[in-house]
Amino acid sequence: MWALLIALTLWSPLRTEGAYFSQFSMKEPDHDPCYDMAGRPVRCVPDFINAAFGKPVIASNTCGTSGPSKYCSIREDADGILREHCDTCDGSVRDKAHPASLLTDLNNSQNMTCWMSEPSTDYPHNVTLTLSLGKKFELTYISMQFCHRLPDSMAIYKSTDGGKTWTPFQFYSTECRNIYGREPNVQISKHNEQEALCTDAHALAPLANRIAFATLEGRPSSFEFEKSPVLQDWVTASDIRIVFNRLSPDQAELYGLTNDVGTNFTDLDVIKQRYYYSMGELAVGGRCKCNGHSSRCVLDKMGKYTCDSILTNVNTFPIAAKDQCGKCRVIPKRMNQKKFCRRDYAIAVSVLGREQTNGWIKFRILIEDVFKAKSGSFASRRGEQALWVSYSSLACKCPKVRVGRKYFLQGRDASNDLSRPGISLDNHSIMLEWNEDLIEKIDRFARREHRGQCPMRRKMAP
């Protein structure tokens, strides 16, 4: 499975880029992959997603944040001729602002919105972008779509501890040795699989506007990834940092172009307008990562992957704080005649499966026995039904509902909520784990009720 996915990831940039990335970013699983259709937990490999989408990016430097600045770029015009065009960036004007939030906003290819650093002739011209993914992911690639010239020298770092410490992931430079002190284009063997390499490959395609770092490309153990703790560790990250150190040479000078105002190329202010970094999209392909065998990735109620410990909590909702969980009326200490009489139905059910919906868990139940029910009510129908329990009740383990178990269930026929057809648990319900000793008691309660032997309701004062 991994080999296939890796192959897909590596080959995909060759396809139509926009289509691939928007497809990737939009992908939303339609059911929880960590449970099978019967609601049993299964080994789950979460889908690959663009983990960067909508996540915050912090730039050390952004064009136009301390007043308007002029910048220029070379574009091919409709007539096919390269010309320099100049504009201003201004953080206080919506159409002229280029904040880092545009990097992860999914406005790609058709109308790319760009982050831009302040033009500068400083050397080295170091600018940093830091992306927080919010949790650990196993990353397959980091893709950067540039709006302007590619950087000449750039380093990618990763953190696995939320940005406290950083380790190098990859370097790009035409001068790997001088700038990063690394040999260029080193061959990867089994011995240096967890080492950041430096490459000048990006400089070989001067017209390209995308640099994609495939985390496993060329690493021998990638074909047995599941067996390689070294590579599993290598691809794990919670934060990504991109440090630009040097821009590629200025094309206007290279091509001997003049701009729309007849630039004097010895004028430093004018040269400065061409020296900035600009990126349109930062995408990170990855899948949710959880450590150890005691936890797995699950979808939370917002549809986001989170880690969930299967040892302590099979259910996939946050455990409520103790003081949010009041006394549980659903699980009474004792059953008695009065409780039996006061409820509309009494049934025995098996829990077949579970699904999550907004704020509620929907269990599929099989009504096996009906001891009492109003005719026509959901509870009166043997066979499959839905049982709705709110997240907050389950979070308090009130009740604890397990797929595959059998329960005794009593409750009132609530006013029908069309959005939740079936049986809903409320604070008048009773739910007990089934045991055969219950039958005798229930039969006795049912017989007495039938004979009109229910305890009297207390009379209201007139």
Ligand X SMILES: *[C@@H]1O[C@H](CO)[C@@H](O)[C@H](O)[C@H]1NC(C)=O
| Interface residues toward ligand X, by CB under 6 A | 105, 107, 110-111, 113, 124, 126, 245, 264, 266-267, 426-427
| Cα first-last separation, the chain | 74
**Closest CB to ligand X among residues 238, 429:** 429
The nearest distance, CB 120 to ligand X, in angstroms, is 11
Distance CA 357, CA 417 (A): 15
**Closest CB to ligand X among residues 360, 371:** 360
The nearest distance, CB 232 to ligand X, in angstroms, is 28
Other Cβ atoms within 10 Å of 321 Cβ, number: 9
CB 164 within 8 A of CB 231: no
**Closest CB to ligand X among residues 253, 267:** 267
**Closest CB to ligand X among residues 107, 453:** 107
**Closest CB to ligand X among residues 117, 228:** 117
The nearest distance, CB 424 to ligand X, in angstroms, is 10
Q: Which of 308, 299, 319 is nearest to 394 (CA)?
A: 319
**Closest CB to ligand X among residues 181, 452:** 181
CB 358 within 8 A of CB 394: no
Distance CA 240, CA 142 (A): 9
The nearest distance, CB 266 to ligand X, in angstroms, is 5
Alpha carbon distances (Å) from 8 to 11, 45, 140, 223, 273? 5, 16, 10, 13, 40
Other Cβ atoms within 10 Å of 196 Cβ, number: 18
**Closest CB to ligand X among residues 266, 375:** 266
Distance CA 272, CA 268 (A): 6
The nearest distance, CB 183 to ligand X, in angstroms, is 17
Tell the burial category of 235 from Cβ atoms under 10 Å away from its Cβ (0-12, 13-18, 19+).
buried
**Closest CB to ligand X among residues 9, 245:** 245
**Closest CB to ligand X among residues 245, 278:** 245
The nearest distance, CB 356 to ligand X, in angstroms, is 19
The nearest distance, CB 25 to ligand X, in angstroms, is 10
Distance CA 349, CA 365 (A): 6
Distance CA 396, CA 329 (A): 12
Distance CA 159, CA 415 (A): 52
The nearest distance, CB 461 to ligand X, in angstroms, is 21
CB 299 within 8 A of CB 29: yes
Distance CA 35, CA 14 (A): 35
Tell the burial category of 13 from Cβ atoms under 10 Å away from its Cβ (0-12, 13-18, 19+).
middle
The nearest distance, CB 124 to ligand X, in angstroms, is 4
